[in-house]
Amino acid sequence: EVQLVESGGGLVQPGGSLKLSCAASGFTFSGSAIHWVRQPSGKGLEWVGRIRTKANTYATEYAASVKGRFTISRDDSKSTAYLQMNSLKTEDTAVYYCSRRTCSGGSCFSDYWGQGALVTVSS
């Protein structure tokens, strides 16, 4: 059974840092890109960024709102992806989801999602 489990959420002050983990199981982690998506309370989904596979040089892309502050990485030996968040702002407060990307016929989609980790940025 495919599972993604986020951890590391919590309360942090503005300007602080937090690192989320996304532990995967039930599939070949090294063969899948991982995306991070966030959702402020009562609002819609916002893409944060992605990390591709080793075959794609572990390339990363980020949303403009987090570029330069957030870093996505992965450790294929641990089947885990990470989201390092620095210089946090109150507007970063949200539930953060990781998702597995699967590709079919040249198109990719997020077929499995974690349960989410709540990050609250407040003084």
Partner 1 sequence: QSVLTQPPSASGTPGQRVTISCSGSSSNIGSNAVDWYQQLPGTAPKLLIYVNNQRPSGVPDRFSGSKSGTSASLAISGLQSEDEADYYCATWDESLNGLVFGGGTKLTVL
Q: Given the rule CB under 8 A, which residues bind partner 1?
A: 35, 37, 44-47, 49-50, 61-64, 97, 99, 104-105, 107-116
Q: Are 46 and 37 in contact (CB under 8 A)?
A: yes
CB of 37 to partner 1, least distance (A): 8
Nearer to partner 1, 91 or 111 (CB): 111
Nearer to partner 1, 14 or 26 (CB): 26
CB of 116 to partner 1, least distance (A): 6
CA distance 72 to 80: 11
CB of 52 to partner 1, least distance (A): 12
Q: Are 97 and 85 in contact (CB under 8 A)?
A: no
Nearer to partner 1, 58 or 112 (CB): 112
Nearer to partner 1, 75 or 111 (CB): 111
Report strand pairing: 60-62 vs 46-51. Answer: antiparallel
CA distance 56 to 107: 16
Report strand pairing: 117-121 vs 10-12. Answer: parallel
CB of 119 to partner 1, least distance (A): 15
CA distance 69 to 87: 6
